[in-house]
Each structure stands twice: as structure tokens, then as C-alpha cells.
Structure 1
Amino acid sequence: MITVTGELPPPPPLRQFILKLHGRCNLACDYCYVYAKSDQRWRHRPPLMAPATVRAAADRIAEHVRAHRLPDVSVVLHGGEPLLAGPRRVEQAVRTVRDTVGARVDFSVQTNGTLLNDRFLRLFDELDVLVGVSLDGDQATHDLHRRTPHGGSHDRVLRGLAALTAPRHRHLFGGLLCVVDVTRDPLTVWDALRAFDPPAVDLLLPHATWTTPPAAPPGAHAAWLTAVFDRWFAEPPAVRVRLFEEIVNVLLGGSSALGSVGTTPPGMVVIETDGAIEQCGSLATAYEGAADLGLDVVHHDFDTVLRHPAVVARRRGEAGVPTPCRPCRWATTCGGGHPTHRYRHPSGFDHRSVYCTDLDLLYTHIHKTLQTALAAPTKAPTPR
């Protein structure tokens, strides 16, 4: 447990709300932090968020917007698989929040893609909802982990992506999310993702802790990611890769919008199907209830969330860098990596990341690449 000491500045307001519209899934991904890890509380929550819970969440978001005079916020429909809620309930949720919140609400949905069809896409077009799809690369790689009870899901995801990336709906395409598998060739995976010309790609390390460490040896994930980084860095105009972009941002002295990079306080919160307000859902990898705050949208406002000791501990900026990380040259740029990956039973989260070696190698590689690029002479324009 990280101890909070000293006076802290007032916390910045929350800007992103993860609305778990449906708490079940039609896939059984073996790395899923919801169903395949330590926290099994999903079994006791309602599968579908009730309309009254959606209204209570909308009221709390509106209250937060008014209190902090926010011009806009974002809401992500999540799960489970949010499209299991069906078009009618998705539409009700979006319209309820938009009609209640007195500011612009940017909506997106994160889906496994297997249920995407023209009916959903016409609705998302009408409601102005961006669509992110989870895809782990080529068919062999994707189907290793993202499976239905009857086999791989790649073919169904491709059908959904074909509909999403068709000219009629392509403006709704928010990007792809890929979980890294170091046993697969990185450039084969990257080429499979790039084939869809996504506006953005999220590359995620598999969630692990010191108690349940990754199967791959230290350095394997860095080698995989640096291979993709080199290809990405060399191919203008490159698709946005948030992990690489945010590392570049912090190495150049800027801030990061990712909780796994840098020391910028996170600005998001999760609302479960029963209305419980929780921290980042991937904390479920650590132990059951790791994300639990004991708060809900019926009885608590979001300023109460900001004052919760567990939230304060993770919004301390540079002061929240884990103790073992502070002598490191990347302490304030890496920030200790993803909070989940710092956990060790029974001592808590004040540890370096279980991916520390990988992060050190990755940051070093990107730093050297930037130094070389910035030192290279700029070519004079060719006279016309």
C-alpha cells in the first residue's frame, strides 16, 4: 500500500467515465482481467446495467460537470461485451447521458467486434459514437487467445471490421486494441493490424503481477515492442500508437494521457453494472476487490471518489512513483509503469513493475531513436 504524506494540490476533475453497460461476454479470452483473473465479483453483479442505474450515473456525471465547469467529458461503453445489451439499451444509455449532462459528451464503445453489424453501425452513426475493436493481429495469433466456446473468433471479428471500415461507416472507426503475445512475430501482427488502416492502435502488455508474473522472460516484451516501434517510426504517415506516442511525449518533456506512462494523474473512473464506482478495472488482476472503493452512483458523488485514499494514492504525480523506482533515470517518465503490474502479495503496490526490465529497454531504445532523429541534419527543400 502506498502511503500518502504531505499536502497535495486539489485533484483535477474526472474527464472519462467507463460505463460497463453489460457485464458478460460472448468470448472467453484467456488473458481477460475480468473473467480469467483473481476478481470474480462479476458473477454476483447484474449482467445488464438497469435504466435506473444509467440515469443515476448520468446525474452524477452532470453534477461533476457543473461543479467543475467542464466543457466536455468522454463516456466509454464497456463490458464484458457492451453490444450484448442490444441496440435499444445502447441507444437509451447514450441518449440518457447526453440529455442529462449539460456539456458535450464524446461517446465511444469498446467491442470485441463479433456482434458489429449494419444495425449497430447505423445507430452509432446517428448517435455519433466512435467504435474501437479488439483484434490481436493475424488469424493464428488472434485465435490463440480470443476464443468462443466453439473455436476462434477471428472470422467474426473480420466481418464486423469489414462493415465498420466500409466507406459508409469508416468515420466511426476509433481504432484497434491488441494484447501483445511475444510468442508471435511482431511484424506479422503489426502488418495484420495496419491492413485495416486504423486511426489508432493500442498495444497492451498482458496484465501480470509479481505474484502472478508473465510467462515470458524479462526483455521479451521489449524486443517485441521495439521491433514494432522501429517499423512505426519509419513509416510516415504512421498510424497513432498511443503507447509509443505517450512515451515520446514524456521523453520530450510533455505529459501522458496513459495511466501506464508518466506521472500525469489519471482522469477516469469505472461504473459497474450495479452502479459501483471503481478504479481501473485491470486492478482485478491483483486480487479480488483491488479496484473496489465502496462507493456507488446512487449514494456518492464523484468528488467523494476524488477524495478516496486509494484514488488519492494513485493521483500523486511524481510523489506517487514507487519507492524502488525513484533512483531510476526513467522515474518521472515511466512513472513505475501500469499500477496493476506493481502488485506483490502481501506488501501491495509500492514496487517496480513486473515488466521493469522491458520498460527500461523500451524507454532506452525510444530515447536513443529520438536523439538520433533530432540530431540528424534537416534536408534543404529541393528548388523548384
Structure 2
Amino acid sequence: MEATTRAPGPAEREPAPFRQFVVKVNSRCNLACRYCYMYFAADDGWRRQPVGASPETLDRTARRVAEHAATHRLPAVSLVLHGGEPLLTDPAELGRFVDLVRALVPAGCRVLATVQTNGTLLTAERLRALAAHRIAVGLSLDGGRAHHNRLRVDHAGRPAWPALRRAARLLAAPEHRPGYAAVLSVIDPESDPIEVYQSLLALDPPALDLRLPHGNWTAPPPGLEGARPDTARPTPYADWLIAVFDRWWASDRRVPIALFDECLAALLGQPTSGGLFGLHPFSAVVVETDGSIEQIDALKTAYQGAAGTGLHVATDPFDAALRHPGVAARQSGPDALAPSCRACPLLDVCGGGNHVHRYRAGHGFANPSVYCADLARLIRHVADALHRAVSP
């Protein structure tokens, strides 16, 4: 196991409480997307997880969430029902869990619940069941056309697109739209950015969440193979995102794009989620189907066991996870970053990029992001657009 970046001790920095709880309700998936960081990455721990979270595990998780909310007097918490494919679990069971969390948290604490699904199992009946428990739906797909989703196939290699298209139409229908959260789409640098963007808008989503594929220096994302921290690198992801940003910026921006909104917030000195931009403390934690408390599961792309904490909802409060060295490193701001990051003029905006993308075997996480060149180019482009917009 790789050594975790050393972070300041508790006396030096007060940990930020968790505000987002990613609950793995099912550890399996009915699709086999070829780039999935859960099933085709360095960590195969999912094979040893129960297929579904038991009612006892969900009850314990609900009580731990409520305990954390009470301890830190949180005004709101986010529950993300995740997998695998979470809708392999009965929506009534998901609703029971969310209702229990709402019943247990202190008065005045809002519980915002979302299920993140590949959409293939969505039906009008399931959407009504989720809506009855005020569970919003996030839809994952790679674009609004069949050829954008060529890597989204089931275990027999059959395309998922017909079911995805049906799901997008269902969610956009007036009776279901109030519960439609967003479309999450992983960037393929080989795709045409404007075609993908326009095809996603054609699905009429309320918001878009464009994601960089999870990769690092040891297992680089597509288009950055062979990249090294000490050499000049291409910027295929900045090229792709800048094309979309310019189209989005020049339009009425009626559909929010989280990545651009976060970049703009960081440039303006506003709080961010701490995932990709800014130095705001990261505040998400994962509960696996067996009740194990883990760091964010994108760490599974680094090495076997990278996300583990050794903690469990049956025996440990979430506050114990705040003291874990890996979580402390995520919350320690510039102290956990590489010297070149701490000296960079873009530090306050970039924040070193996503923690997961900094990993390099033998060197841990104290490296620039594998997307460093892409992020720098994108940030400067967005900053120029913002400057032109506010300056006469």
C-alpha cells in the first residue's frame, strides 16, 4: 500500500464535517461500461462486497448520518444513492432509508436525496416511487446520440442507448421533471465537443455535469498516455472544454454546467465543492454495501485499498473518518500539495486539481494533477472571458 500524504495534525487544522454521504446501496451493475472506475480499475474490492446493502446496514448508516448532522449542527446534508446501479435495489427500500434519515436528523436539517443511475431500469412507476420520497434522479450518459454511448454496453455487449434515450425522455416529461437533477457525462476527448454539447441540450436536462475521466500519472486518462510531470504535455481536455465553454458562454447559459460554474466561483473567490477547483475542504464520504466507511471511491483508480479507512458504521462515527490521514490530507489545503503547486499563481483557483488525479506510483499524491496543463489552460481561458465581461 502506498503511503498517504501527511497532513497537518488536529491541533493545526480543524476538520470540516462531511456534508455529502455517498451510500452504496448496490455493488453490482447491469452495464459494463469499458471506462468505469469501479469495475475496470486498480481496486477490485467490489467483488468482496455484498450485492446489496442490508436493511440493518442502511439503518445504521441513517443513524450515523443523523449523529454527524447533530454533532456539527449541519443545516443540510446530501444523500447520494449510488452503486453499481442503485436501481437494482427496490425504490421502496431506497425511500425507506431516505425517510429514516429525515426522521432522525435534527429539526431544521434538510436532507437532499439523489439517486445516480445509468437510466436503463427507469420506468414511470419507479420515478413515481422515488418522487414520493423526494428523491431526485441524476442520469449518467456520454452524449445524446447512440455513437456517443458506444462504450456503454451490458454484460453481453448489447448497447444501452435505447434504454438511455427512453430514460431521458421520461425524466424530461412534465410529470417527472421536478425530480430531474442533472445529466452526468464523462468527457471523451475523441468526440466532437459541440456535437456532444448540442446533443445533451437536446435531451432538455435541467443541468449538466461534465466530468474528466478518472486517471493519474500511473494509469493516465485517454489522450494523456505517456505524460510525465516534468515534461510539456498536450491539452486535449482543455481543447474540448474550451470549445463547449465558448458556446455556453456566448449563449444564454440557461443550462448550468457544474464544471464551469465551479471554475467561475473559484475565480471570484467564492466557495466551491473542493472536488476539482478551489481550496475549499472536500466534504464527501462513502458507505459501502457492507457498511464500511470509505473515502471517495474514485480513489480505487490509484491502487488496491486506496479508499479504505478500516472504519464501519456499526462501530464508528463519521467523526472517526475525519481523523483518517487520507481524509485529513484532502482537507489540508496547500499543505498536501506538491511544491510546484504551492508556488503556482493559479493555486487558489485550481487547488491542485482533483486529489485522485495526482497519484503517481512510488510518489503518492503529492504531485501536480495529471490534468495540470489542461486545467491551467482552461482556467486562463475562463478568466479572460470573465475579465472581458466585467471590464469596459
TM-score normalised by length of structure 2: 0.93
In the alignment, what sits opposite 1:133? 139
Q: Deviations over 1:218-249 (max 9, x none)?
A: 21111000000011111114311111001111
Tell me the amino acid that sits aligned with residue 183 of structure 1: E
1:223 aligns with 2:229: no
Alignment of 1:342-353 (within 5 A): 342-353=358-369
**Aligned partner (choices 182, 202, 208) of residue 201 of structure 1:** 208
Partner in structure 2 of residue 246 of structure 1: 262
**1:69 aligned partner, one-letter code:** R
Greater length-normalized contact order (CA 8 Å, ≥ 6 residues apart): 2
1:15 paired residue number: 19
Q: Distance in 2 between matches of 1:59 and 1:271?
A: 13
Asked if 2 retains the 8 angstrom alpha-carbon contact of 1:114 and 1:157, the reply is yes
Q: How many residues align?
A: 376
Over 3 Å counting, the alpha-carbon distance change for 1:3 and 1:87 in structure 2 is: closer
Q: Per the alignment, in what secondary structure is the counterpart of residue 221 of structure 1?
A: helix
Aligned partner of 2:229 in structure 1 is: none
Letter in 2 for 1:372: R
Q: Is the 8 A contact 1:321 1:331 kept in 2?
A: no
The answer to whether structure 1 residue 81 and structure 2 residue 85 are counterparts is: yes
Partner Cα separation in structure 1 for residue 307 and residue 110 of structure 2: 28
Contact 1:54 1:96 in 2 (8 A): no
User: Hey, what's the Cα distance between the residues in 1 that align with 2:145 and 2:197?
Assistant: 12
- What amino acid is aligned across from residue 108 of structure 1 in structure 2? T
CA shift for structure 1 position 350: 0.4
Query: 1:327: Cα distance to partner?
Result: 1.7
With 129-138 and 315-324 compared, the bigger mean Cα shift is at 315-324
Q: Secondary structure at the match of 1:147?
A: coil
Question: Could you say which residue in structure 1 is the equivalent of 2:174?
Answer: 167
CA distance in 1, matches of 2:145, 2:91: 28
Distance 1:132 1:20 in 2: 15
Distance 1:228 1:288 in 2: 35
Q: Are residue 319 (structure 1) and residue 319 (structure 2) matched?
A: no
2:53 alignment counterpart: 49
For 1:143 and 1:25, how far apart are their aligned partners in 2? 16
Q: Distance in 1 between matches of 2:150 and 2:131?
A: 32
2:5 aligns to what?
A: 2
**Gaps in structure 2 of 5+ consecutive residues:** 225-233
How far the C-alpha of 1:336 sits from its partner, in A, is 1.1
Residues of 2 paired with 1:200 and 1:11: CA distance?
Answer: 31
Residue matched to 2:310: 294
Partner of 1:144: 150
Counterpart-to-counterpart distance in 1, 2:132 and 2:304: 39
User: What SS does the corresponding residue of 2:90 show, helix, strand or coil?
Assistant: helix
The alignment status of 1:121 with 2:127, answered yes or no, reads yes
The aligned counterpart of 1:263 is: 279
What does residue range 297-376 of structure 1 map to in structure 2 within 5 Å? Answer: 297-376=313-392
In 2: Cα distance, 1:209 partner to 1:165 partner: 36
Distance in 2 separating the partners of 1:198 and 1:258: 24
C-alpha contact 2:215 2:301 (8 A) present in aligned 1:
yes
1:258 CA displacement? 4.0
